[in-house]
Structure 1
């Protein structure tokens, strides 16, 4: 009888690398997001720093993947298969050393065990050859398929700007509960403001330690993500539906602007976080857990904000996994769903009321095309053009009065996430 019991691998740091490998496999093979994959991949890892390290390794691999592969291929006589485990482990090794500055000996000690029973000698040889050759971190690059798609949509300068944005840590944007405090808040926090009610800081440490957090003076929200709610203006006690609302940045914006907000989301877990944010910031909203395709309000609202589920390609600089999870078929599927949701939400707007449609996507198919088809089919609505003075300086509406933010915009001030938004008015 074998009385041996399994024991954890004694190699310090190995569990974090194993988790990173599992996360990357989930993204590349199963199309999961890193956030979703992290939960299963980090089971059994209690140390928060180890979980954060696993996430950082996976993120850096995805941020630099095309360049890492070129380096690997330069040192192998026969190319490794795209999905070969040895290739992924080498990506992890290079990301650790070149991006996260892990000493090479520590990288070897924690990564080669990932290839137990596999080509460890090959991985060791390729990594060692690259280190001896003085390899440096390659500039971030978009995957070729994404670069080609965005070049066709928006032009080569946009695709080049997206590559730069991929390698530039995004700043920290704070949305203020009281826009009248903007100048003072920017001075107190050592930041800059690009529009009233906003303060931008360099990437900081713990969010909870920034002045004003406990008091609920602000919440974290990318500047581009804050624009759709701004398009509804002051609430003055009127009713607004915030659909697909969690984690709640737009809900808090609307409540702070004087709207009576009903916030709907299909995830109770995400709504719990929204309620926590409302409590911290002292804002009030009615929250409802429901499927938007099944729920309907008791009465029409003065305004509806639909921040529709989308490919999320616009937030690639924060979530580089979207560059590898999202293919044209996913974009097409989401566009079909968005059209259904927009048509449904339009029935809940009072005559004369406003409907804002928004997506954090860089795909025209999910933005401009959805709105164009909707307006062609529904004569009740017309575009209510956004004015330049409603937007940060350097962001302009298009010829129809819709808003599209792209990589490269406000780059000297830290850039923007990619968004599309249109404000529609229900005809009297």
Structure 2
């Protein structure tokens, strides 16, 4: 008997969901193995969309499932996993219920299949709906406190596609070429779903993909004018490209061979130049001091939940504590590598205070407050002169990732 069209994508989405929720893997790491049987770009995009929407609305999907069963299914029970995918397709991706049933139930057999069919039928007959805003997992809501509702609202839909231009002076030109919006010079925003490599300007290296918030730390170092900058934890390289385009003589350091290969490819495509060093920043010693250091530190990446909703379910107190210890160690080393008068920018794509506001207390440098004039309209520095963004900000313009950014100077 022939399998229904689309079954491979649904099976891949189930594998991806299992990798995240049961094994704690990231969506990005698990994606290649999960989609090994999926060939087309469109089908791979569908896999990511199904799994992503399931993770984004998981708490609310589970509440619907529990409302239609006499006894709650275990969290990792296969019928629950399949029902999550089926409901996400119906309620978030507007897949007709008959198509959801045709492609979803084949993931199960016997009693579990009958159970899933019964639950799904019950919910469709009820015309079940999701709330306007995703419900955060209880531990996440507790961590984010009063900021939680606004952040959750920013997680309601996946983000648009943000690009950073090699030459900000060409913003108007490329906005016209790509029918894009712009929130600041050098930035473009397009609707999500585009095949990036087929967009005008990709082949000639006119731009690279980078969330608006992620572009701000390098922007805050300003023009390089040939001076020396160190990009710590640099790969896959968006900030290295920015610094090189701003005229800095860049040393890009990272420990990951695979991610540094991506950086080399991006440098080649854009025609920009940087020195690449593969090393552990906790062991490495520079041969000279730097005029600027950008430390975009490894973190839990909870600020990227719009595009990586797996962080809502993978990250807890243990991971936050581990990352905070690493960030503190990196900050301590980076401070000693500045020339007198040099500037250090620290950033993390995390919403957790332990990885942002709490880290600045131990920095023995002179704070250099961030000014509102350096930021896109609608963003403002904190009273302490740092920058805190989250997915609930700039909502009318499509939002942005959660970041913390602070800047200091070594007197001299």
Shared fold per TM-score greater than 0.5: yes
Select which of 368, 393, 397 maps to 2:381: 397
Give the CA deviation at 1:118. 5.0
Q: What SS is found at the alignment partner of 1:145?
A: helix
Q: What SS is found at the alignment partner of 2:216?
A: helix
Q: Given the superposition, is the C-alpha separation of residues 338 and 76 from structure 1 closer, same or farther in structure 2, using an over 3 Å criterion?
A: same
Tell me how far apart the structure 2 counterparts of residues 259 and 364 of structure 1 sit (CA, whole Å): 31
Tell me how far apart the structure 2 counterparts of residues 245 and 75 of structure 1 sit (CA, whole Å): 48
Q: Given the superposition, is the C-alpha separation of residues 116 and 289 from structure 1 closer, same or farther in structure 2, using an over 3 Å criterion?
A: farther
2:86 alignment counterpart: 93
Q: Given the superposition, is the C-alpha separation of residues 282 and 30 from structure 1 closer, same or farther in structure 2, using an over 3 Å criterion?
A: same
Give the CA deviation at 1:354. 0.9
Give the CA deviation at 1:327. 0.6
| Structural mapping, 1:5-16, within 5 Å | 10-16=3-9
1:356 alignment counterpart: 345
2:95 alignment counterpart: 102
Q: What does the per-residue CA deviation read over 1:365-390, in whole Å, with 9 as the maximum and x for residues that have no partner?
A: 10110111x22xx3xx1211111111
Select which of 321, 334, 337 maps to 1:332: 321
Tell me how far apart the structure 2 counterparts of residues 397 and 215 of structure 1 sit (CA, whole Å): 35
Q: Please tell me whether residue 290 in structure 1 is matched to residue 279 in structure 2.
A: yes
Q: What does the per-residue CA deviation read over 1:2-59, in whole Å, with 9 as the maximum and x for residues that have no partner?
A: xxxxxx9845433322222222122112211111111222234444443332222111
1:5 alignment counterpart: none
Q: What does the per-residue CA deviation read over 1:155-184, in whole Å, with 9 as the maximum and x for residues that have no partner?
A: 2xx322222211123222221211222233
Segments of structure 2 that go 5 or more residues without pairing to the other structure are none
| Structural mapping, 1:144-159, within 5 Å | 144-151=138-145, 155=146, 158-159=147-148
2:108 alignment counterpart: 115
| Structural mapping, 1:121-132, within 5 Å | 121-132=114-125
After superposing the two structures, state which structure 1 stretch, 210-219 or 29-38, moved more: 210-219
1:416 alignment counterpart: 400
Tell me how far apart the structure 1 counterparts of residues 49 and 394 of structure 2 sit (CA, whole Å): 26
2:57 alignment counterpart: 64
Select which of 380, 390, 393 maps to 1:406: 390
Give the CA deviation at 1:113. 3.1
Tell me how far apart the structure 1 counterparts of residues 204 and 255 of structure 2 sit (CA, whole Å): 29
Select which of 18, 25, 30 maps to 1:37: 30
| Structural mapping, 1:279-318, within 5 Å | 279-318=268-307
Give the CA deviation at 1:278. 1.3
Give the CA deviation at 1:308. 0.4
| Structural mapping, 1:194-233, within 5 Å | 194-203=183-192, 205-233=194-222
Segments of structure 1 that go 5 or more residues without pairing to the other structure are 1-7
2:137 alignment counterpart: 143
Contact 1:265/1:290 (CA < 8 Å) preserved in 2? yes
Give the CA deviation at 1:112. 2.3
Give the CA deviation at 1:302. 1.1
Q: Please tell me whether residue 323 in structure 1 is matched to residue 317 in structure 2.
A: no
Give the CA deviation at 1:115. 2.5
Contact 1:28/1:324 (CA < 8 Å) preserved in 2? yes
Q: What SS is found at the alignment partner of 1:30?
A: coil
- The root-mean-square deviation of aligned C-alpha atoms, in Å, is 1.9
Contact 2:154/2:393 (CA < 8 Å) preserved in 1? no
Tell me how far apart the structure 1 counterparts of residues 2 and 334 of structure 2 sit (CA, whole Å): 53
Q: Given the superposition, is the C-alpha separation of residues 51 and 413 from structure 1 closer, same or farther in structure 2, using an over 3 Å criterion?
A: closer
1:384 alignment counterpart: 368
1:4 alignment counterpart: none
Q: What SS is found at the alignment partner of 2:200?
A: coil
After superposing the two structures, state which structure 1 stretch, 210-219 or 335-344, moved more: 210-219
Give the CA deviation at 1:253. 0.6
Q: Please tell me whether residue 73 in structure 1 is matched to residue 73 in structure 2.
A: no
1:346 alignment counterpart: 335
Contact 1:352/1:427 (CA < 8 Å) preserved in 2? yes
TM-score (norm 2): 0.94
Select which of 133, 138, 150 maps to 1:161: 150
1:252 alignment counterpart: 241
| Structural mapping, 1:17-36, within 5 Å | 17-36=10-29
Q: What SS is found at the alignment partner of 1:120?
A: helix
Q: What does the per-residue CA deviation read over 1:108-150, in whole Å, with 9 as the maximum and x for residues that have no partner?
A: 2332232335522111111111112222344422222212221
1:3 alignment counterpart: none
